[in-house]
């Protein structure tokens, strides 16, 4: 939630600092601002709106100076106003900070400071910390000491970057339960809440751990522990993400571009060494009990994976939403597998922490290198999908689903549930999938677009599927809600007749995820539900496979995918539904890459 950036250079950095928060805009886009030290004075500009809107008002990119901090906000404490936007200045205007996370004891600190005459401009917890700095500096007259003294007083989770005219050469940064990374350049250094803050300028990064602070200069940096002052030696990561992957290319939106990245994303997922996949499968095999966990889209990926494990490995592992994970008792011998694109999601991190404390083993499939979740688990698989900029997850979710398919397949082989022949056949199907994804993207996008256009006015949708297509329907309904703001409810097709059928009438549209004909039981059950809707005057849209005349006859409109393996069929439908949501949102003129009220990584509880 929210993006932080800071640069220390010898040259003017106004344009680069502005670019860096533009590259972070997907993390929050209610308001933004920049603060720079210009000729010994702090210059602060901020306002409400997206980055380009604020730039048009405030000329952020024209700001002058060689050291500065910037922030793009997704409001948590305090509504969306210019005063509440970051950076925040201290009341004597000597310190300026940007902050992510929540200072949980800010109310009492604020009251104390107010009783001492401090005047607050905003309602944020952040402004409390910057004024504590002012107070500590009056006592210590030393920036590092004041920074540490102020930190001693706050509770909660935070990453903070501070700039002050008292030290024009350095930024002061701290991390606790909210991500912060350093980027190391030539004669310049960077700090950011994620890699995209500085990926355009350097590929050398250091991931800060909780309880570490940094005094960051343009040629030097020193990382120490807040508690002991001890210097910490950190390894430097080389980031191999391609900068171009985080650009929009010729596409009108990141969401569309990222859907079209999917053949490549699946190829990357196929390249993950088999030893890593079987290492994770082995953890499942050894566990007394195992749980699959994620939240939002990754919860649905966990749900889809449930079906993979049961059909390919004859094992049932419950999927739980991270925010509800505390209902289960975990203990030593259990395994908790988390799925997370960002690797920073608060609910998932908290649930993993609970699992670790209870003595369970933990594993994760994560996209962002150096993220908290990737560092905290016993085994991690880095999915290598490249930066996902659109707030709505598409390519990362698909890759995670594909990776889980590989893990389930490996477990099925290890447990001798699959014969060698069947295992080999499934492997071949997986290897052919990137080509299939390319083909369906090329061939079907026009059809999907037409259906989306003709139905974008529909305010209420049912998304329905049986078996593994049920969580695909749930995930697809979430995509639809996120980008179109229309109501879409995912449910099992067989569940419909137990109540929701009463809503069916021509205006209510039902999107069915129709299995392959060879998946006979699932196919029959889906067809029954489709006919139930049709008979009651409902409008039926199908995502199905070619040659399915029976399903086609029930549909008002349909997307017909080429024949493919049953293994990959649900993934192909997932892609079509992503595209459907995209084109419906396009027709409705929605803010596709940054839907209202959402942010990319939800690092708050």
| Binding region for ligand F6R (CB under 6 A) | 295-298, 340-342, 345, 348, 392-393, 478, 482, 601-602
* Residue 149 CB neighbour total at 10 angstroms: 17
Q: 95 vs 325, which CB is nearer to ligand F6R?
A: 325
Distances (CA, A) of 120 to 43, 117, 158, 472: 19, 10, 20, 49
DSSP string, 259-305: HHTHHHHHHHHHHS-HHHHHHHHHHHHH-SSEEEEESTHHHHHHHHH
**Residues in the chain, overall count:** 605
Q: 48 vs 602, which CB is nearer to ligand F6R?
A: 602
Smallest gap from residue 262 Cβ to ligand F6R (A): 14
Q: 20 vs 374, which CB is nearer to ligand F6R?
A: 374
DSSP string, 186-252: SS-EEEESSGGGTTTT-SEEEEPPTTEEEEE-SS-EEEEETTT--B---PPEEP---GGGGS-TT-S
Give the burial class of 117: count Cβ atoms within 10 A of its Cβ; 0-12 exposed, 13-18 middle, 19 or more buried: exposed
**Cα separation of 175 and 223, whole Å?**
11
Is residue 600 part of the annotated active site? The answer reads yes
Smallest gap from residue 296 Cβ to ligand F6R (A): 2
Catalytic residue among 2, 32, 555, 568: 2
Smallest gap from residue 367 Cβ to ligand F6R (A): 8
Distances (CA, A) of 476 to 77, 392, 462: 31, 11, 10
Reference 44, options 70, 7, 72; nearest CA is 70
Quote the tokens at residue 174.
């701290």
**Cα separation of 1 and 156, whole Å?**
15
49 dihedral zone (left: phi>0; alpha: psi -120 to 50; beta): left
Give the pairing of strands 41-48 and 95-103: unpaired
Smallest gap from residue 301 Cβ to ligand F6R (A): 8
* Residue 131 CB neighbour total at 10 angstroms: 25
Reference 77, options 25, 35, 129; nearest CA is 129
Give every CB contact of residue 139 below 8 A, 6+ residues apart in sequence: 146, 149
Q: 146 vs 601, which CB is nearer to ligand F6R?
A: 601
Q: 162 vs 483, which CB is nearer to ligand F6R?
A: 483
Give every CB contact of residue 536 below 8 A, 6+ residues apart in sequence: 501, 504, 505
Is residue 188 part of the annotated active site? The answer reads no
Q: 342 vs 532, which CB is nearer to ligand F6R?
A: 342
Smallest gap from residue 56 Cβ to ligand F6R (A): 29
Smallest gap from residue 186 Cβ to ligand F6R (A): 32
Smallest gap from residue 309 Cβ to ligand F6R (A): 20
Q: 571 vs 602, which CB is nearer to ligand F6R?
A: 602
Q: Across the beta sheet with 361-366, what order do the strands follow?
A: 319-321, 290-294, 335-340, 361-366, 379-382
Q: 294 vs 538, which CB is nearer to ligand F6R?
A: 294
Q: 297 vs 560, which CB is nearer to ligand F6R?
A: 297
Q: 176 vs 349, which CB is nearer to ligand F6R?
A: 349
**Cα separation of 268 and 147, whole Å?**
43
Helix (H) or strand (E) segment spanning residue 457 = none
Give every CB contact of residue 408 below 8 A, 6+ residues apart in sequence: 281, 305, 308, 309, 311, 312, 313
| Cβ-contact 317, 347 below 8 angstroms | no
Residue nearest to ligand F6R (CB): 296
CA atoms within 13 A on the CB side of 410: 19
Smallest gap from residue 143 Cβ to ligand F6R (A): 35
Smallest gap from residue 329 Cβ to ligand F6R (A): 23
Smallest gap from residue 592 Cβ to ligand F6R (A): 12
| Cβ-contact 538, 588 below 8 angstroms | no
Give the residue numbers annotated as catalytic, written as ranges. 2, 600
């Amino acid at each position: 939630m929210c993006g932080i950036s800071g640069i220390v250079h010898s040259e003017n950095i106004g344009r680069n600092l502005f670019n860096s928060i533009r590259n972070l805009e997907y993390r929050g886009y209610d308001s933004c601002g920049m603060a720079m030290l210009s000729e010994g004075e702090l210059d602060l500009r901020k306002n409400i709106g997206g980055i380009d809107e604020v730039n048009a008002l405030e000329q952020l990119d024209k700001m002058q100076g060689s050291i500065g901090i910037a922030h793009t906000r997704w409001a948590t404490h305090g509504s969306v106003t210019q005063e509440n936007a970051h950076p925040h200045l201290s009341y004597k205007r000597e310190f300026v900070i940007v902050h992510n996370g929540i200072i949980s004891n800010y109310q009492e600190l604020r009251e104390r400071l107010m009783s001492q005459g401090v005047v607050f401009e905003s309602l944020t917890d952040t402004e409390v910390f910057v004024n504590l700095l002012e107070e500590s500096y009056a006592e210590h007259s030393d920036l590092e000491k004041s920074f540490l003294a102020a930190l001693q007083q706050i509770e909660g989770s935070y990453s903070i970057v501070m700039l002050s005219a008292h030290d024009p050469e350095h930024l002061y940064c701290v991390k606790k339960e909210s991500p912060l990374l350093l980027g190391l350049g030539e004669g310049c250094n960077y700090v950011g809440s994620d890699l995209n803050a500085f990926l355009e300028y350097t590929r050398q990064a250091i991931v800060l751990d909780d309880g570490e602070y940094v005094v960051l200069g343009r040629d030097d940096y020193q990382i120490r522990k807040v508690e002991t002052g001890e210097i910490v030696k950190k390894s430097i990561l080389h980031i191999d993400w391609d900068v171009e992957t985080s650009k929009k290319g010729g596409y009108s939106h990141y969401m569309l571009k990222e859907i079209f990245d999917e053949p490549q994303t699946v190829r990357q997922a196929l390249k993950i060494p088999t030893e890593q996949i079987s290492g994770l499968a082995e953890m499942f095999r050894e566990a007394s009990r195992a749980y699959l966990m994620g939240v939002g889209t990754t919860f649905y990926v966990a749900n889809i994976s449930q079906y993979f494990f049961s059909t390919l490995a004859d094992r049932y592992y419950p999927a739980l939403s991270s925010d509800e994970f505390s209902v289960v008792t975990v203990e030593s011998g259990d395994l908790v597998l988390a799925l997370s694109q960002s690797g920073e999601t608060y609910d998932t991190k908290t649930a993993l922490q609970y699992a670790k404390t209870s003595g369970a083993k933990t594993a994760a499939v994560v996209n962002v290198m150096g993220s908290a979740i990737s560092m905290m688990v016993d085994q991690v698989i880095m999915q290598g999908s490249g930066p996902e900029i659109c707030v709505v997850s598409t390519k990362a979710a698909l890759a995670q689903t594909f990776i889980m398919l590989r893990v389930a397949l490996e477990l099925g082989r290890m447990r001798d549930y699959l014969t060698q022949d069947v295992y080999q056949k499934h492997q071949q199907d997986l290897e052919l999938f990137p080509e299939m994804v390319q083909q369906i993207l090329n061939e079907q996008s026009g059809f999907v677009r037409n259906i989306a256009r003709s139905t974008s006015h529909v305010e209420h949708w049912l998304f329905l599927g049986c078996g593994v297509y049920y969580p695909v329907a749930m995930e697809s309904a979430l995509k639809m809600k996120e980008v179109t703001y229309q109501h879409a409810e995912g449910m099992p097709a067989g569940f419909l007749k137990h109540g929701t059928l009463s809503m069916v009438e021509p205006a209510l549209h039902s999107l069915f995820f129709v299995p392959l004909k060879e998946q006979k039981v699932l196919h029959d059950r889906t067809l029954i539900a489709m006919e139930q809707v049709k008979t009651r005057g409902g409008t039926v849209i199908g995502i199905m496979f070619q040659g399915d005349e029976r399903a086609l006859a029930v549909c008002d409109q349909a997307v017909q995918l080429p024949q493919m393996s049953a293994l990959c069929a649900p993934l192909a439908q997932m892609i079509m539904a992503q595209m459907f949501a995209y084109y419906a949102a396009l027709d409705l003129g929605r803010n596709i890459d940054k839907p209202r009220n959402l942010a990319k990584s939800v690092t708050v509880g």
